[in-house]
Structure 1
Amino acid sequence: MNVEETVDTNVTKTKSRKKRKLWLKIIGGIVGALVLFMGIVFVVNAISNGIEKKNIESYGQYVKVDGKNMNVSIQGSGEQTIVLLPGQGTPSPVLDFKLLIDELTSEYKVVAIEPFGYGLSDKTDKERTTENIVSEIHEAVQQLGLDRYILMGHSITGLYGVSYVNNYPDEVTAFVGIDSSVPNQPGMDVKLPLKSMRFLQTSGMMRLFKKLGGDSYESLAYDEHTKEQMNLISNQVSVNPTLVNELKHLGSNFKNAENSSYPPELPVLLFVQSNNEHNPKWLPLHEEQAKQSAQGKMIPMEGSHYLHHTKFKEIAEEFKTYMKQIHP
């Protein structure tokens, strides 16, 4: 190798080292910026949680269940009682059901229950199996002295409700589902990214995504104060360990109930989303469920999965009519 070739080789090596150092600086800068960004998001979330927690207003009353506080709201003074249960992960069940509750309390006593991990209720380390959840809800009902009532609920209540009415058939006079789950519905064996969900919540990224996505309650008929409170509670309880544990058991809870059904003598009224794009069998599944009851009825409704957010007046009127028909 002559002198000229040696010089060229050294120059090439020098340029390569400079490029490598430049790329390392760029990558280091990006990583540093991401770490700084995540740190800021984490700190902002922690500070916001502390401030917001003080601004959450209490509602309802506590009952002791398994040594912990379970929050319930009792409204209305009708002769018949409705026990109202939420869909999975609903941050504040009492406030979420407010529009529907307001339509029902003129004729019914409405008892909205916030299971552990929901709303203002305590969290729990007990596994979120259907058996435990149903037992805890029933203990709350017993603490309130209720012995005859209509069981009404949204979404996952369709799963827990089947177990509930079969365990306590002498107490439940009717079941009313609001786009309620069906024990044999498909797709419930999917594995959920539970660790990622917890990371998003604890890191503050969940709060950021909610902020960027806009207020999900904005277009709904809730008053502004209720919307504010629901958002505050959502930031506090979303993806908490109790709710994550419930998601962990989701597949097995459905699997264990896939052959379950409501007692044939139990009146069953089902309000069902008519335009479910994710499950074309959604209506047929509920039709079959309603047929299994001697007084079963299914009412399709256009809207989102949260039908009670927009169809609360229609749900209340149809429910009242149905109850008068089965108990003239």
Structure 2
Amino acid sequence: MSKPLRIILKSLAAIVIAILLFIAIVFIIDKVSSKLEQGKIHPYGQLVPVDGKNMNVLIQGKGEETVVLLPGYGTAAPALDFKQLIDELSPYYKVVVIEPFGYGLSDRTDKERSTDNIVSEIHEALQQLNIDRYTLMGHSIAGIYGIAYVNKYPEEVQAFAGIDTSVPTQAGMDVTFPITMFKLLKQSGFGRLMLELSSDPYAELPFDEETKKQMRMITLENMYNKSTLNELEHISANFKGAQHLTFPTELPLILFVDAGNTSNEGWIALHEEQVKNSAEGKMMTFEGGHYLHHLRSKEIAENFRQFMQEIK
């Protein structure tokens, strides 16, 4: 073997060893960090038995009327993410935040994340808490689960409030997601590395530092877990299954919509169409991005209260 060839082979071997060593280090750091973080996550809310598992629910406020908050897809710690909105609503309402399976401090489940299963589980949690009359307020994909929910349990829901909610007929929801790649990122530890190298999404938001720290740890804990990945696999089917549904005409409906959404064609028009079919419907637009409740909680709460007073 010639000397140049030996040098090339040795260099390639050194590169391969370095790559394998880097992968091993990333994997070990992720496992050790995950173990350490589990002991640092502070419990909140209460665990409610649902379908043989535990679903975490946070309740704040003692108002006569109840508002049930449902998160958007992938919101790692809903009860913490909704903190500003909870604080604005809880002086006037009993606010109940549901953390579906795979979210927040709730258990994970092997049960398919179909709309029907998710809706039934949320309903069971409320039944366990003896809550049988309430307004649903949901963010993002809760618009899909919410429209199914109000049609399934119309006698319980007194109104629906959407925070930049998904619409069954919005474009682009027939996409196939790279589930296998997400699983690999989680298992290898590279998901953590990517998150650590990315900018902090909560950095400029009005959360206290401890809440930000807790949300980041729970995000790492819940990232690409089996329940939320299964839900992602069902996104297309869940949207398709909702396309024949509309909010009941007699159900009061208020939608808070991101005025600056340019990624979804006809975003405002889609919500206007939903409101138009409601006998007591209202749509309001705000600047603030998809997570409107991070920056517009005060406006959302004030306008929601006014709306609820008007429909009485």
Residue 248 of structure 2 corresponds to 263
Q: Mark the structure with the bigger radius of gyration.
A: 1
Residue 5 of structure 1 corresponds to none
Question: 1:78-97 maps to which residues of 2 (within 5 A)?
Answer: 78-97=63-82
Residue 298 of structure 1 corresponds to 283
Residue 124 of structure 1 corresponds to 109
Partners of 2:57 and 2:181 lie apart in 1 by: 31
Residue 307 of structure 1 corresponds to 292
Residue 218 of structure 1 corresponds to 203
Deviation for aligned residue 1:209: 1.4
Once superposed, what is the RMSD of the aligned Cα atoms? 1.1
Out of 139, 156, 172, which is 1:171 matched to?
156
Q: TM-score, normalised by structure 1?
A: 0.93
Residue 30 of structure 2 corresponds to 45
Question: 1:245-264 maps to which residues of 2 (within 5 A)?
Answer: 245-264=230-249
Partners of 2:279 and 2:9 lie apart in 1 by: 72
Deviation for aligned residue 1:35: 1.1
- In terms of mean alpha carbon deviation, does 156-165 or 30-39 score higher? 30-39
Query: What letter matches 1:314 in structure 2?
Result: E
Deviation readout 1:132-161 (Å, 9 max, x if unpaired): 000000000100111110000100100000
Deviation for aligned residue 1:45: 0.6
Residue 199 of structure 1 corresponds to 184
Partner SS for 1:55: coil
Out of 147, 155, 161, which is 2:140 matched to?
155
Query: What letter matches 1:114 in structure 2?
Result: E
Deviation readout 1:6-52 (Å, 9 max, x if unpaired): xxxxxxxx7xx544443333332222211111110110010000000
Partners of 2:4 and 2:252 lie apart in 1 by: 75
Deviation for aligned residue 1:66: 0.5
Residue 325 of structure 1 corresponds to 310
Residue 277 of structure 1 corresponds to 262
Partners of 2:246 and 2:3 lie apart in 1 by: 71
Partners of 1:83 and 1:121 lie apart in 2 by: 16
**Could you tell me whether the CA contact under 8 Å between 1:127 and 1:245 is conserved in 2?**
yes
Partners of 1:291 and 1:134 lie apart in 2 by: 25
Deviation readout 1:263-314 (Å, 9 max, x if unpaired): 0100111111111121131111111011111111111111211111111111
Query: What letter matches 1:289 in structure 2?
Result: Q
Partners of 2:159 and 2:22 lie apart in 1 by: 52
Partner SS for 2:155: coil
**Could you tell me whether the CA contact under 8 Å between 2:171 and 2:265 is conserved in 1?**
no
Question: 1:90-109 maps to which residues of 2 (within 5 A)?
Answer: 90-109=75-94
Residue 63 of structure 1 corresponds to 48
Partners of 1:89 and 1:112 lie apart in 2 by: 15
Q: TM-score, normalised by structure 2?
A: 0.98
Residue 22 of structure 1 corresponds to 7
Partner SS for 1:180: coil
Structure 2: give runs of 5+ residues left out of the alignment. none
- In terms of mean alpha carbon deviation, does 200-209 or 139-148 score higher? 200-209
Partner SS for 2:39: helix
Structure 1: give runs of 5+ residues left out of the alignment. 1-13
Query: What letter matches 1:210 in structure 2?
Result: L
Q: Identity of counterpart residues, as a percentage?
A: 56
Partners of 2:165 and 2:76 lie apart in 1 by: 18
Partners of 2:99 and 2:247 lie apart in 1 by: 23
Partners of 1:23 and 1:273 lie apart in 2 by: 56
Partners of 1:130 and 1:19 lie apart in 2 by: 62
How many pairs are equivalent? 312
**Could you tell me whether the CA contact under 8 Å between 1:184 and 1:259 is conserved in 2?**
no
- In terms of mean alpha carbon deviation, does 299-308 or 161-170 score higher? 299-308
Partner SS for 2:193: helix
**Could you tell me whether the CA contact under 8 Å between 1:134 and 1:163 is conserved in 2?**
yes
Partners of 1:290 and 1:301 lie apart in 2 by: 16
